[in-house]
Structure 1
Amino acid sequence: MDPALEVFIAVAEKQSFTRAAEMLHMTQPAVSQYIRSLEQALGTKLLDRSNKYVRLNPAGQIVYHHAREISGLYARMQYLIDDMKHAARGDLSIGASYTYGEYVLPHVLAEMMAGYPDIKPTITIGNSKEIVELVGSRRLDVGIIEGEVRDERYRIVPIADDAMYVVVPAGHRYAERRGLRLADLSEETWIIREAGSGTREAADHLFAQHHFHPERLMEFGSTQIIKESVEAGLGISLLSKAAVRKEMALGTLQLLELEGLPYYRQFSLVTQASPFYTKAMEVFMELVRGYRPI
């Protein structure tokens, strides 16, 4: 990779020529020379400088964005070449939606680390929309999402079905009822996830399929908060069975038997649309494809 771009990234992130020089083990004049050379090559200034700060100007922001992408591609190329000669190892940045990331992914990681201790995973948890965006900007190597995404920029591979049920607190008035329909729950308070979440997408699809319009909705940004709220009697929710296994075993949450449920959605792997993956990515993706959430 062009050393001038490496120096520029360091200056942009440290917002200081001095701190960038220290990080790169270079002299400050050498850092300044690299920046001048880059600006001359591009024909424009990239930084606003004063005695107090160094900041990216609009041109610098464009160059920084692409320099980070180039840096990631270069590192990936090195990993791929190195992988031809070695076993799976190295850094692996993984993103996952909340349901998969909090309730399934830890089990997959434990299996991976037992067999491949030289892989060094870092984990990001977010809603499905956020994970896709992070993969798209190459800040994640691989993501696992809920629901559907159609975009030619990505390789999206379904890996498992996820069964979703209406969840109520123990002792709920409908807990032992049979033959319930979604319409019977119209007066309940429904606690749902935020827009962009795969769990929210599933709830919206289910409601639309049944022409169902709850009278009261509460929107929370975490599956864990929703579970706690349902346990506390604040309302009911549509959640993955994988997310409530412990609470079902403890007897604090119950699944309702409703006509037309469970609602099935898919967990999917999302990566850049590239034919090349590091061995660490291949190992992880193979484990994920073979693991069943329930």
Structure 2
Amino acid sequence: MNINYMRTFLVALETGSFSATARHLGLTQPAVSMQIQALEDYFGAKLIERQGRKLELTRAGVLALQNIKASLDLVDLTRRNIDELATEVVGPVLVGASTVPGEHLCPHLMGIFIKRYPMVKPRLIIENTSLVLARLHRHELDVAIVGAPPKELELHAEPIFHDELILLIHPAHRLATKAQVSLDDVHGEPFIGRTAGSGSRLVLERELARHGLSAGRLTVVLEVSTSLAAVNAVEAGVGLAFVSSLAAGASIRAGRGVARRLEGLTFSRALHLVTAPRLYNGRAVAEMAKFLRSTEARAVVEGRQREWQKLS
């Protein structure tokens, strides 16, 4: 039995369709169907039935789901037990990150970590917050760093870093010379927004709502999926954008963007270390989590944040 077929089965139930499963796993839809069929042939029973456009478990499928999850947990436990046989901290660590920490913090933090543990091979996967948490929930990741805490009770989140969204303005824009920028000043101005599922977007909407305001008050002319794309759009003169101070540093330093806080509003947030309960986590994963919680890692983040504060 191919273990990957079991993982495909779980993803199919998570996504609700073979086409979405194929997109998620980078497979063709016929390949997904073949893997599910192979599982059903192996167990000698129909596991999934189509009910309209949705997938529903049969009675056999419900039983299979419980045992497949348990089997994959045991495979994971075995792999990590074998890792522990080594005298050094070794093995892979799958790190998921939303776009801000993934693009602007993790490369620096991973660089420090692998110098300390050269036998550990981290793999960094960057997606928006909701997708990263979904992967972690399915045990496709070992740890995650995201900009919004998870809603799933099965995931454990702890704040480890601080971040702030600032208003990034093109240097030639009329607001670039203003020391104080208010919400009235930006009313009607074109904005670059983040796509649904972004932690930055959730923070923006939450703070506006706290003041009785709606994000719909902003005139969004373009939505982008990453903070870097938002910064580049500001530099191209598309409009204004609320972006992480961590993402805006290079633009401000090069004189391609101007940072301002919006008067009376504070778009601050915690970046969270998120883990999922497992039967066992190997030393490599434990050391990664320990490092991300450390004062050394926090000092790296705070140092990068001070860069934009000096320039703004």
Q: Give the TM-score range, shorter chain.
A: 0.7 to 0.9
Distance 1:211 1:11 in 2: 44
Distance 1:114 1:182 in 2: 46
- The alpha-carbon deviation at position 68 of structure 1 amounts to 6.0
TM-score, length-scaled by structure 1: 0.77
Compared with structure 1, are the counterparts of its residues 138 and 211 closer, same or farther at alpha carbon in structure 2 (3 Å cutoff)?
same
The answer as to whether partners of 1:96 and 1:125 remain within 8 angstroms in 2 is yes
Distance 1:7 1:193 in 2: 33
Where does the alignment leave 5 or more consecutive residues of structure 1 unmatched? 21-31, 48-56
Alignment partner, residue 99 of structure 2: 98
Distance 1:170 1:64 in 2: 59
Q: What letter corresponds to residue 127 of structure 1 in structure 2?
A: N
Q: What is the DSSP-based 3-state SS (H/G/I as helix, E as strand, rest coil) of the residue aligned with 2:168?
A: strand
Select which of 200, 214, 219 maps to 1:216.
219
Compared with structure 1, are the counterparts of its residues 63 and 119 closer, same or farther at alpha carbon in structure 2 (3 Å cutoff)?
farther
Where does the alignment leave 5 or more consecutive residues of structure 2 unmatched? 10-26, 49-55, 305-312
Residue identity over aligned pairs, in percent, reads 23
Compared with structure 1, are the counterparts of its residues 88 and 45 closer, same or farther at alpha carbon in structure 2 (3 Å cutoff)?
same
Distance 1:46 1:185 in 2: 55
CA deviations 1:75-130 (Å, max 9, x no partner) are 32124423544332112111110111111111111111111121122222111111
The answer as to whether partners of 1:194 and 1:221 remain within 8 angstroms in 2 is yes
Distance 1:160 1:215 in 2: 28
Q: What is the DSSP-based 3-state SS (H/G/I as helix, E as strand, rest coil) of the residue aligned with 2:176?
A: coil
Alignment partner, residue 239 of structure 2: 235
Query: What is the RMSD computed on CA atoms of the aligned residues?
Result: 3.4
Compared with structure 1, are the counterparts of its residues 72 and 143 closer, same or farther at alpha carbon in structure 2 (3 Å cutoff)?
farther
Count of aligned pairs: 266
Compared with structure 1, are the counterparts of its residues 45 and 187 closer, same or farther at alpha carbon in structure 2 (3 Å cutoff)?
closer
The answer as to whether partners of 1:194 and 1:219 remain within 8 angstroms in 2 is yes
Matches within 5 A, 1:24-63: 38-39=42-43, 44-45=45-46
Alignment partner, residue 119 of structure 1: 120
- The alpha-carbon deviation at position 63 of structure 1 amounts to 7.9
Matches within 5 A, 1:98-247: 98-213=99-214, 214-217=217-220, 218-247=222-251
Whichever structure has more helix as a proportion of its residues is 2
- The alpha-carbon deviation at position 198 of structure 1 amounts to 0.1
Distance 1:254 1:283 in 2: 38
Q: What is the DSSP-based 3-state SS (H/G/I as helix, E as strand, rest coil) of the residue aligned with 1:174?
A: helix
Compared with structure 1, are the counterparts of its residues 7 and 169 closer, same or farther at alpha carbon in structure 2 (3 Å cutoff)?
closer
Q: What letter corresponds to residue 272 of structure 1 in structure 2?
A: A
Alignment partner, residue 275 of structure 2: 271
Distance 2:70 2:176 in 1: 55
Distance 1:202 1:137 in 2: 25
Distance 2:184 2:128 in 1: 28
CA deviations 1:212-240 (Å, max 9, x no partner) are 45351132222222111111111111111
Matching of residue 286 in structure 1 with residue 290 in structure 2: yes
Q: What letter corresponds to residue 270 of structure 1 in structure 2?
A: V
The higher radius of gyration belongs to 1
The answer as to whether partners of 2:183 and 2:263 remain within 8 angstroms in 1 is yes
The answer as to whether partners of 2:47 and 2:64 remain within 8 angstroms in 1 is no
75-84 vs 115-124, greater mean Cα deviation = 75-84
The answer as to whether partners of 1:192 and 1:226 remain within 8 angstroms in 2 is yes
Q: What is the DSSP-based 3-state SS (H/G/I as helix, E as strand, rest coil) of the residue aligned with 1:201?
A: helix
- The alpha-carbon deviation at position 183 of structure 1 amounts to 2.6
Q: What is the DSSP-based 3-state SS (H/G/I as helix, E as strand, rest coil) of the residue aligned with 1:73?
A: helix
Alignment partner, residue 259 of structure 2: 255
Q: What is the DSSP-based 3-state SS (H/G/I as helix, E as strand, rest coil) of the residue aligned with 1:273?
A: coil
Compared with structure 1, are the counterparts of its residues 10 and 195 closer, same or farther at alpha carbon in structure 2 (3 Å cutoff)?
closer
TM-score, length-scaled by structure 2: 0.73
